[in-house]
Amino acid sequence: MATIRVFILDRIRQGPREDPALSSFNPREREILKHIAEGLTNRQIGTRVHLSEKTVKNYVSSILEKLGMASRTQAAVYSLKKASEA
């Protein structure tokens, strides 16, 4: 019983574990994923983060590849689901 208690206390101290897919994201990719989840287009994201539309497109492609997803809609749903779990 004490072993279980120690394990539980350790897990609480460590906090929530980060999703392995997100651990490889850099801060810019995380920011862009958040904007994708808001439903913004590449052009709108570019305007907000001061990047060209093409650069945003490259980031989106990288995000989709890292997540193993085919569409930005899938990435948006994933992001919203992760946000609700936090």
Query: If you average pLDDT over residues 56-67, what whole number do you get?
Result: 97
pLDDT tens figures, 29-59:
999 999 999 999 999 999 999 999 999 999 9
Going from N- to C-terminal start, the domains of the chain cover: 26-85
List, as own/partner pairs, every contact residues 61-65 make where C-beta atoms lie below 8 angstroms and the sequence separation is at least 24, other chains included: 62/29, 63/25, 63/29, 63/32, 63/33, 63/36
Question: Residues 7-25: pLDDT tens digits?
Answer: 666 666 665 556 777 888 9
Confidence (pLDDT) at 82? 85
pTM of the model: 0.77
Q: Does the structural domain 26-85 have CATH classification 2.60.40.1730?
A: no
More confident residue, 8 or 67: 67
Residue 55: the pLDDT is: 98
